[in-house]
Amino acid sequence: MTSSNKRKPKPLTADTQASSRSEDLIRSLEHLVFNSTEGVLQDLLDAIPDLVWLKDNDGVYLFCNAAFERFFGASRQQILGKTDYDFVDSELADFFRKHDLSSVANGKASINEEWLTFASNGYIGLFETIKSPLRDAEGQRLGVLGVARDISKLNTVRESLRERQSMLETIVNLAGNAIVLVDPETGGMLEFNEAAYRNLGYSRDEFSELTIFDLDELTEIQVRKKFDRILEAGKLSFETRHRHRDGHYRNVVVSTSVIELQGRAYIESSWTDISEIRQAEQALRIRECELARAQQVARIGSWSLNAETGELRWSDETYRIFGIPVGQPIDYAGFIARVHPEDVAEVRDAWSNAMQGAPYDIRHRIIVDGETRWVHEQAELETEHEGQLFKGVGTVQDITESWRDHLLQETSNATLHSLAQGNSLSAVLTTLATGLESINPEMFASIFLLEPGGAGLTLGAAPRLNPGFAQALASLGMERVPAMFKAAINNVQTSVLDDITQAQDWVELLGLVKAAGFRSCWCRPVLSKEGQVLGVFAVFYQRPGLSLTADQVLVESLAGLTTQVIEQTRVQDALHLSSRVIEYSHSAITVTDAQGYIIATNPAFTQLSGYTQDEVIGRKPDVLRSGLQSETLNDSFWKALEEDGYWRGEIWSRRKDGSRYLQWLTASAVRDSKGAITHFIGISDDITENKEAMERIDFLAYHDPLTELPNRQLARDRMEQELTRAKREVDARFALLFVDLDQFKSINDALGHTQGDDLIRAAAERLVETVRETDTVSRQGGDEFLIMLTGDIEMHAVSSICTKVLSAMARPFDLAGQRVSISASIGVAMYPDDGTCFDSLMKKADMAMYSAKEAGRNAYRFFTNKMNVDVMDRIMVRNSLLRALERREFVLHYQPQLDIKSGHIVGVEALIRWENPDIGIVPPDRFIPVAESSGLIVEIGRRVLQEACRQLKAWQEEFGLADFVMAVNISALQFTRGDLYEAVSSAIRESGIDASNLELELTESILLKEADQALEVMSRLRKLGVKMSIDDFGTGYSSMAYLKRLSVDKLKIDRSFVKDIDVDSEDAAIAHAVISLGHILGLTIIAEGVENEAQLAFLHAHGCDQYQGYYYSRPLPAAECGRLLSKN
């Protein structure tokens, strides 16, 4: 054992005990010497076994006891008065004397232990001597008192003890366990063996400086609490960890006991390092956990059976596989209870066969938490010679997933095989559903397909469902199908129904459900790769509340296959349809390989190109090359196909017979899954005729179809270009001519539209021939043309061109052998004087053209500001007309019409007058043209009819005018824009007059411009009873041709012929001719504007029937006219 420098008790040995006793003896002897009588002193000292003597200061013996006498072999008398030199050799005597003097010199007792040899008898012994100076009461030194003891035998014992202790220390130091003496007050380790510091990696010196607090992993407070428990109990064993010198901790088992030394309690502690044991245990636990985990991952459990003891042990995984809590007692009957009822007999037979030596290797089903699962069991059984089971070990593996995978693979293979054979979608889906049901017979699988547009469901497959039930479910329609189906389709989610018989939305099918014995159901949507709902997978069960997770996973695993079957079948159907579409397509289709060699065409290709499929297979599409395409186009074609994957455009091709045609070609590259081109497809159509038509349409978009001149849009575009040029240049000038053919409407109606079109084309040709090549001639529509004279032209040059145009138009036109004469009116606007934009120049050229017409036609006019003023005046008049309508400022005046022979008034003509409150009476020639051009004449005419009829009715009631006629003038616009028939019939109906009392006066222009429409309206009015007359007869064009077609009652000779009828022979001849013609046709003739007696006399003489004019009366207001009628 090794001692440390820590606080420790005084060593307790045989030597120290002897010395202590000698010192006590000296003190007792000193007391006896001074306090006892001599006789008593001698008796006491003789009783002491130790040698006792007294010497004086010179070494002379003064006293000795009996033991001293016996040791030296001399009597007391022989000894007293003598010195040591008298008894021992001088060397030993000197030794004794030296010690005596040393004791005297020190003044205190000295203890010596030495081996002495006595020459007198040769005795050698180990003696312990104590010598102490002896003083009297006054302190004077009397001598030396000595005590000696032969300790030779004690020394032998002591040496033996030392050897034993050394041996024990060697044994302790060689021991593997640490042995330590611990001071519980300081934690110091007072004694320790070599194992204590060696096992923890310390040196002896390092370890001697440590306390138990430095070693233990517990805190000092925790260690001291443990000390208290040890001191209280006397001993304690426990496990803790001690810190190694390198910092890691070692597991140790500590045994302690309490010992007392010199009245204090110490802890004797011995500990054994069990780190390797704990590590081995941990490794074992890890291996066991890994094994358990491996079993869990592999779904493999193990079991062992001891037939002698009846003990059946299952691994944790075996418990989990069978769904039994881990550790629950289990026996063979409990195992059989978990086996599927249909497999129990097979399992029992396999076990019995194994008992006879056959291998136990079986796959069967078990029921776990209501779910059917598959297991694979293997076992090795040991039997005794009598065939009795001795022991057995085995494994059980959950193969549900792998077995299902196997069955799923068989189902997938069978389904794909059916699909590959081209079976119907229903047949393929039935194969798939049947395979599912074979995996779990409790499943009644069905697949319903969503109809296009989601209108309802159709039955795809239901192998074991009652056909009536399946069809009834499919025929419900989306409004009535159970909610779980709607959820699958609309919300794309799986729905589970634990008990169908309790669900309200299954009531309609409840009878069929019960007949089939169904209790629970779940369904999930079947989705396309793009996530679109294709249908519903529904599974029914004959038990309620089943655990469906495994079946849902099962169906989920086949979801992709179901989608593939549906989509591929539809693709196959689509391909079949596409094949027929290609075959019957009117577009030519060509398919080539990746090198561009033709491998297939369709019938339309043959029809288009003239080549049969056999003639072009193996050749490139170059066989159709027309020679009209550039190599650049050919290169860009193939480059686009390779880089972009498609090309479309127009290509000229050549047929087998050599004729060329333009085709619209769409070419596409077909790539495989790796992106490599495998084929090219070309789809083309003959667009030769379409192209020509499109070019024609494009041409007509900017040209007049009749004359092929630029139209209004192209004229505007060119004008804009000219304006842009002119604005960039200084002093730029150009002219815009507005050309309108005079009286074209009459000619067109007279000759017919065909010759009218011929006239327009001929006029267009003359206009083009008349102007320069740099000028633009365009048709605006109807008989209107625009001519743009460019090149900074001056007004005199414009005048010259206008004169040429008028001359060209004045030359007769030969239309199908008939010569026709026509004239033109031209309006001219100059840039920049009259405007700087197209609309401004157009407007002013139009004003100038109307000015030329007002000047008598066959003329041209340059725009002047006065024309603009006139236009503004017309605008002001129009605005005033609107207000006049609102304020009812229009009134009627009536001019009497008289019978020439009798002089009686037979009727009146209603003439409109405008009584403007600001400017007074506005003459008709000022506002009627404006009313005509603005369209207000329609409303004005309607009011005139209403008022005239109302007034006629009033006069009839007042004066009894039965055959009296009210003549009302009708405008052309009332024919074209207003419903004249409705206006007339409404006025007659509201006033209550007889239709025969109303006479409508129509101008020749109405009959000529709107002949067809006029005839139709006139016919309806005639049937109503209304009379008709032609106003201003003789002023129109070719009016005689229409008299046969017009159903009129009266002709009115225009005032222009009556004015000079008595002095102008031509007017007289015309008047006479009109009267004669009218009478031949059975018409009444009336002359207007009769102002004197001579005119009236001529008319009377030539048989005119009626007249009106200032000669008898001016137009009168209604009241004045009434007074005149009252006198008639």
DSSP state of 1003: E
pLDDT digits (tens, 9 = 90+) for 257-277: 999 988 899 999 999 888 888
Residue 388 pLDDT exceeds 80: no
Residue 167 lies in a domain: no
Same domain, 1021 and 1098: yes
Same domain, 663 and 530: no
Round to whole Å and give the CA distance between 523 and 541. 12
Last residue of a domain, one of 273, 306, 324: 273
Same domain, 727 and 801: yes
Residue 887 lies in a domain: no
Residue 219 pLDDT exceeds 80: yes
Q: What is the CATH number of the domain that holds 43?
A: 3.30.450.20
Residue 856 pLDDT exceeds 80: yes
Give the pLDDT score at 16: 40
pLDDT digits (tens, 9 = 90+) for 311-332: 788 888 889 888 889 888 888 8
Same domain, 727 and 855: yes
Residue 616 pLDDT exceeds 80: yes
Give the pLDDT score at 1119: 94
Last residue of a domain, one of 516, 542, 573: 573
Same domain, 206 and 304: no
Give the pLDDT score at 158: 61
Q: Are the C-beta atoms of residues 370 and 352 closer than 8 Å to each other?
A: no
Per-residue pLDDT averaged across 1071-1098, rounded? 92
Q: Which SS3 state, helix, strand or coil, does residue 389 take?
A: strand
Give the pLDDT score at 646: 84
Same domain, 779 and 711: yes
Residue 877 lies in a domain: no
Could you tell me which residue, 83 or 295, shows the higher pLDDT?
83
Q: Considering Cα of 671, then 673, then 674, then 675, what sign does the dihedral take?
A: positive
Residue 289 pLDDT grade (very low, low, confident, very high; cuts 50, 70, 90): low
Q: What is the CATH number of the domain that holds 737?
A: 3.30.70.270
**One-letter amino acid for residue 87 of the chain:** F
Residue 297 pLDDT grade (very low, low, confident, very high; cuts 50, 70, 90): low
Same domain, 768 and 711: yes
Boundaries of domain holding 678: 585-692
- The total number of structural domains that make up the chain: 7
Residues contacting residue 137 through CB under 8 Å, at least 6 positions apart = 34
Residue 221 pLDDT grade (very low, low, confident, very high; cuts 50, 70, 90): very high
Could you tell me which residue, 171 or 793, shows the higher pLDDT?
793
Residue 927 lies in a domain: no
Residue 24 pLDDT exceeds 90: no
Q: Please, is 854 exposed, middle or buried when counting C-beta atoms within 10 Å of its C-beta (0-12, 13-18, 19+)?
A: middle
Residue 1090 lies in a domain: yes
Same domain, 472 and 609: no
pLDDT digits (tens, 9 = 90+) for 434-473: 988 888 888 899 999 998 878 889 999 999 998 888 898 8
β-pairing verdict for 818-820 and 813-815: antiparallel
Round to whole Å and give the CA distance between 269 and 524. 74
**Overall pTM > 0.85:** no
Q: Give the CA radius of gyration of the chain.
A: 73
Residue 325 lies in a domain: yes
- DSSP secondary structure letters along 1069-1117: HHHHHHHHHHHHTT-EEEEE---SHHHHHHHHHTT--EEESTTT---EE
Q: Considering Cα of 841, then 847, then 852, then 858, what sign does the dihedral take?
A: positive
Could you tell me which residue, 863 or 577, shows the higher pLDDT?
863
**Average confidence score pLDDT of the chain:** 84
Per-residue pLDDT averaged across 253-258, rounded? 92
Residue 851 pLDDT exceeds 80: yes
Same domain, 292 and 269: no
Last residue of a domain, one of 863, 888, 918: 863
Residue 825 pLDDT exceeds 80: yes
List the Cα angle 319/325/327 in 5-degree steps. 75
Nearest CA to 317 out of 341, 290, 338 is that of: 290
β-pairing verdict for 371-383 and 360-368: antiparallel
Residue 1066 lies in a domain: yes
Same domain, 421 and 554: yes
Same domain, 955 and 1005: yes
Could you tell me which residue, 291 or 106, shows the higher pLDDT?
106
Same domain, 943 and 1078: yes
Per-residue pLDDT averaged across 924-940, rounded? 84
Helices and strands (H, E) in the chain, number of each type = 42, 43
Q: What is the CATH number of the domain that holds 534?
A: 3.30.450.40
Residue 889 lies in a domain: no
